[in-house]
Structure 1
Amino acid sequence: MASIFTKIIAGELPCYKIYEDDKVLSFLALDQVNLGHTLVITKEEFNHWTEVPADTYAHLHKVSQKIGKAVLKASGSPRVGQIVAGFEVPHYHLHLIPAWSIPDLDFKRAQRRSDSDMKQIQQEIIKHLG
C-alpha cells in the first residue's frame, strides 16, 4: 500500500516543495513543529532507515545538509535538529526542524500554519538554497 509520501511523489497530493531530484524529495511538513520544519524523503518507498541503500542514504543526507543550511538562514534559528522517527508514515524520512532549544524539537508543538505562512517560509528556504 502506497504511503502518503508516495502519493505526494506521484503528484496525487499537493505539497510545499523545497527540493527534488531523481532520488529524494523535500517539502514542508504539513504540521510544523516550528515554521520551516522540512521533510526530506526517499522517492523509493522504504519502511525503515536501515533498509535504504547506502548510496541513496548518503545522497539524502548530503542534500539534507544543504537544505538544513537554507532552513537556518530562512528561520533565523541557531540550530536545525534532525529527527528520524518513522512511526507516523512507513516511508523513510528525515525531519529538519529549526530550533532554539531542545524543547523546540517536541512534536507536541506541531500545528497547522496558514497557507501564506507556509508559502512565505517555502520561498525563503528555496531562496537560500542558491
Structure 2
Amino acid sequence: MTIFSKIIAGEIPSYKIAENDKFFAFLDIFPLVEGHVLIVPKTEVDKFFDVPDEYLAEILLFAKPIARAIESAIPCNRCGISVVGLEVPHAHLHLMPVNTADDLNFTRGKLKLSPDQLKAVQEKILSKL
C-alpha cells in the first residue's frame, strides 16, 4: 500500500481539496509552490499511463474546477500541470499555480510550510471551489 493509498483511506491525515468515487485531491505537504495540489486515482497503479482508460479520460475533468480554484485563490499567471511520478509509485497529477516555467522545476528545493500555513492554503482553495 502506498502513502497515497493510506491518505485516501484516511490512515494518514491530509489537507483534502476534493474527492469523488475515482479520485482524491489534496495539498502536497512538501510543495514546490504554495497551492501545489496532488490528484491521485483511488486505484493504486504505479505509472500514469498504466491507469485504466476511463480514469485517464476523467482525471482532467476532475482537475478542471480545482485548477480554476487554484488560479482564483493563489496569485499566479495560470495553473500548471505536470506528471512526473518518480517519488511515489502511485500515479498522480500535480496542479500548481505558476508564473514561470521554472515553477514546475522538480529539481528545486521544496517549501517548508507549517500546518497553519497549509490549512490557510487549503481554505483559500476550498473557498473558490
TM, length-normalised to structure 1: 0.94
Structure 1 residues 38-72: Cα deviation after superposition (integer angstroms, max 9, x where no partner): 00000010111111112111221111111111001
Distance apart, 1:112 and its partner CA: 2.1
CA contact (8 A) 1:81 1:97 kept: yes
Structure 1 residues 84-117: Cα deviation after superposition (integer angstroms, max 9, x where no partner): 0010001010001111111111221312201111
Q: Which runs of 5+ in 1 are unaligned?
A: none
Whole-angstrom distance in 2 between the partners of 1:17 and 1:79? 21
Query: Which AA in structure 1 matches 2:84?
Result: A
Q: Which residue of 1 aligns with 2:38?
A: 39
Q: Which residue of 2 aligns with 1:128?
A: 128
Q: Which runs of 5+ in 2 are unaligned?
A: none
Q: Which residue of 2 aligns with 1:18?
A: 17
Secondary structure of the residue aligned to 1:109 is: coil
CA contact (8 A) 1:34 1:109 kept: no
Tell me the C-alpha RMSD between the 2 structures.
1.0
The count of residues paired between Structure 1 and Structure 2 equals 128
CA contact (8 A) 1:81 1:96 kept: yes
Task: Please say which of residues 3-12 and 101-110 is displaced more in the overlay.
Answer: 101-110
Query: Which AA in structure 1 matches 2:54?
Result: D
Secondary structure of the residue aligned to 1:64 is: helix
Q: Which residue of 1 aligns with 2:84?
A: 85
Secondary structure of the residue aligned to 2:121 is: helix
Q: Which residue of 1 aligns with 2:110?
A: 110
Alignment of 1:46-57 (within 5 A): 46-57=45-56
Structure 1 stretches of 4+ moved >2 Å: none
Q: Which residue of 1 aligns with 2:63?
A: 64
Q: Which residue of 1 aligns with 2:95?
A: 96
* Identical-residue share of aligned pairs (%): 38
